Amino acid sequence: MVMEIVCPAGTPAALRAAVKAGAHTIYCGFADETNARNFPGLNFDRAEMREGIAFAHGHGSKVLIAINTFPRAGDEAIWHRAVADAASSGADAVILADPGLLAYAARNHPELRRHLSVQAAAANADMINFYAETFGVKRVVLPRVLSVPEIAAINVETEVETEVFVFGGLCVMAEGRCSLSSYATGRSPNMNGVCSPASHVEYYDDNGILDARLGGYTIHRVGKEEAAPYPTLCKGCFSAGDATGHLFEDPVSLNAEQLIPQLQKAGVTALKIEGRQRSRSYVAQVVRNFRAAVDALEAGQPMPEGMLARLSEGQAMTTGAYKKTWR
């Protein structure tokens, strides 16, 4: 079976562009704190979601709704309403991370298909099977801590479909288990759906030296001829002991296109592209390339080579944890 391309859409326009570019599946979120890309001007109101789902279904594509932040104590109703609205909008599945919310969805909307978000960081077959038995989870998005052989071993031990990230931003820490951003800025992926938010970024130009600060901490410094990367906390420049540099991760993004054949052999069902904050033209281009790759693979033809390098905006690429030496 051809591998499923799961593509991000931050806006109705991006959703339509992704569908037309050949995405099998689109994932998106409501315009509030219930999803992990809660950025200004992004995401779908209820009417847009219904229209977007109708459009996708009309073109044979599926829509998944990410409700993958951790509901705030005392305010769970906001997240419960999001699950109910996903069900009534005709979404093909919801992507959830919080056990309490999974329990709610399984109890109140048993017909609505449930995927386990990467934010749940289910990193072994026992845990994945437990989520399947307990909450009826049908698919798991694997955390970016696993090598390809480990993914293959998981697929031998579980009936749950696996979905893996192949392109875009790369978390270095286990997803859903990182409070670095809220420590420095007060805004967190788990609670607010944001990481290293732009509202807390400042740039200082000091005689041609450009400092990038996040929450008042200088974590990048470049000369004026150099490109200044966005100061995402875990990809910042720090010093420890005698070393100064990108101690956690370089400012790289993930590109596992060349690993697609191995991922298929490993039993992976779906390939996920990160980037609900990206433009529709970016999304369309990435989708077209990945669709071409999985179609070529299915037809027994060689993989197109290096097709996406130009989309990385000059950033270095990595295959991340898929190669064991990354650890």
Partner 1 sequence: MELTVGPNQFFWSADRWASSYDTLASAPVDRVVLGELVCSKRLPFYQARIPDAVTILLEAGKKVSLTSLALVTLKRERKQAAELSDMGVEVEINDLTALTYLPEKAPFSVGPLVNVYNEGTLSWLASRGAKRVCLPPELPLDSVRVLAKAGADLGVAIEVWGHGRVPLAISGRCYHARMHGRTKDNCQFACEDDADGLDVRTLEDQPFLTMNGVQTLSDTYACAVHQIDALKEAGVAALRLSPQSKGFVEICQMYRDLLEGVKTPDAIARDIQNMDENTRLSDGFLTGDRGVDWSGHSLAR
Q: Considering only residues 87, 247, 292, 303, which one is a binding residue for partner 1 as defined by CB under 8 A? A: 247
Shortest distance in whole angstroms from residue 127 CB to partner 1: 5
Distance from the first to the final alpha carbon of the chain = 32
Q: Which helix (H) or strand (E) holds 113?
A: none
Cβ-contact 38, 70 below 8 angstroms: no
Q: Which helix (H) or strand (E) holds 36?
A: none
Say whether residue 226 binds partner 1 (CB under 8 A): no
Say whether residue 72 binds partner 1 (CB under 8 A): yes
- In SS3 terms, 142-170 reads as CCCCCCHHHHHHHHHHCCCEEEEEEEECC
- Reading the block at residue 243, the tokens are 């070393």
**Which range in 109-117, 241-249, 275-283, 295-303 contacts partner 1 by CB under 8 A?**
241-249
Interface pattern 196-215 for partner 1 (x via CB under 8 A): ---------------x---x
Cβ-contact 298, 121 below 8 angstroms: no
CA pair distance 293, 285, nearest whole angstrom: 12
Say whether residue 285 binds partner 1 (CB under 8 A): no
- In the region spanning residues 163 to 192, those forming contacts with partner 1, defined by CB under 8 A, are 172-174, 176-180, 182-186, 188, 190-191
Burial grade of 89 (CB within 10 A; 0-12, 13-18, 19 or more): buried
Tell me how many residues contact partner 1 (CB under 8 A): 66
Q: Considering only residues 114, 144, 272, 291, which one is a binding residue for partner 1 as defined by CB under 8 A? A: 144
Q: Considering only residues 221, 230, 279, 315, which one is a binding residue for partner 1 as defined by CB under 8 A? A: 221
Q: Considering only residues 39, 55, 230, 238, which one is a binding residue for partner 1 as defined by CB under 8 A? A: 238
Count of Cβ atoms closer than 10 Å to residue 206 Cβ: 8
Say whether residue 40 binds partner 1 (CB under 8 A): no
Say whether residue 1 binds partner 1 (CB under 8 A): no
Give whichever of 42 and 212 is closer to partner 1, judged by the CB atom: 212
Give the HSE-up count for residue 260: Cα atoms under 13 Å, Cβ half-sphere.
Answer: 30
> Can you state the angle between helices 46-58 and 12-21, rounded to 10 degrees?
10
Question: Where do contacts with partner 1 occur on this chain (CB under 8 A)?
Answer: 70-74, 76, 97-101, 103-104, 121-124, 126-127, 129-130, 143-146, 150, 172-174, 176-180, 182-186, 188, 190-191, 211, 215, 217-221, 234, 236-241, 243-244, 247-249, 321, 324-327
